[in-house]
């Protein structure tokens, strides 16, 4: 089913969308053969794509053109895809994107390197990345982060360095849930500064 700020499925036939929010989720029979979204999806501020198992392609430059985008949430689409497609141009959103939520659905994904350029990011939510074993050092460069959450990353063992975590001076909530190997590693968990800026786990 597709929601576009009150606009129905006819958006598929349009070259530009007069809306600011697009959610693609649980395609009905009408969209079972949909494998990509249009190149031009308008001046979106929010884009969410999940449970679209037949969607195989996000145009590589599409995200880079969405310079007003503030919220992005998506999964790796098709069962045939093990990585997140279409992130090659996400660095163009370095000044606009505020919230990013990625769900790898237990695929052997690692964190896309392109995320390190999202300097204005305030919320990062990472879920079910079975290929993630350690948080990268560049995480400390996302100094505007207020919320950082990791869920169900069962193979994660290491945090970023203590120095990198200390650079996240605006962080109000750092939540780790369902990451047993990390949560049982006291040496790693002790890296987290015990300041009022860090919330419960």
Rounded distance between C-alpha atoms, residue 67 and residue 65, angstroms: 6
Rounded distance between C-alpha atoms, residue 3 and residue 49, angstroms: 11
Strand (E) or helix (H) holding 46: strand 46-50
8 A C-beta contact, residue 173 and residue 148: yes
- Structure confidence at residue 1 (pLDDT): 35
- Structure confidence at residue 112 (pLDDT): 86
Q: Are strands 147-151 and 123-129 parallel, antiparallel or unpaired?
A: parallel
- Encode the chain (201 residues) as per-residue pLDDT tens digits: 333 433 333 333 333 444 566 666 554 444 444 455 555 555 788 888 777 666 666 666 667 778 888 999 987 666 666 677 667 788 888 999 999 999 988 888 888 888 999 999 999 999 999 999 999 999 999 999 999 999 999 999 999 999 999 899 898 888 899 999 999 999 998 888 665 545 445
Give the Cβ contact number of residue 198 at 10 Å: 17
Could you tell me the residue ranges of all domains in the chain? 1-97, 102-201
- Structure confidence at residue 78 (pLDDT): 65
- Structure confidence at residue 88 (pLDDT): 78
- Structure confidence at residue 64 (pLDDT): 75
- Structure confidence at residue 101 (pLDDT): 95
Distances (CA, A) of 104 to 8, 81, 109, 144, 172: 28, 10, 7, 24, 25
């Amino acid at each position: 089913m597709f929601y576009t700020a009150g606009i129905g499925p006819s958006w598929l036939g349009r070259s530009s969308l007069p809306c600011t929010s697009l959610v693609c989720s649980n395609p009905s029979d009408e969209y079972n053969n949909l494998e990509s979204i249009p190149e031009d999806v308008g001046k979106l501020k929010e884009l969410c794509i999940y449970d679209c198992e037949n969607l195989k392609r996000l145009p590589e430059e599409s995200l880079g053109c969405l310079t007003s985008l503030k919220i992005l949430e998506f999964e790796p689409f098709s069962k045939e895809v093990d990585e997140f497609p279409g992130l090659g141009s996400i660095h163009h959103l370095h000044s606009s994107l505020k919230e990013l939520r990625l769900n790898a659905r237990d695929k052997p994904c690692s964190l896309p390197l392109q995320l390190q350029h999202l300097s204005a990011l305030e919320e990062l939510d990472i879920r079910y990345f079975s290929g993630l074993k350690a948080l990268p050092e560049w995480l400390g460069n996302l100094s505007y982060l207020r919320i950082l959450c990791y869920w169900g990353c069962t193979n994660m063992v290491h945090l970023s360095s203590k120095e990198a975590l200390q650079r996240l001076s605006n962080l109000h909530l750092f939540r780790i849930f369902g990451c047993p190997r990390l949560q049982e590693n006291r040496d790693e968990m002790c890296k987290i500064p015990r300041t009022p800026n860090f919330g419960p786990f």
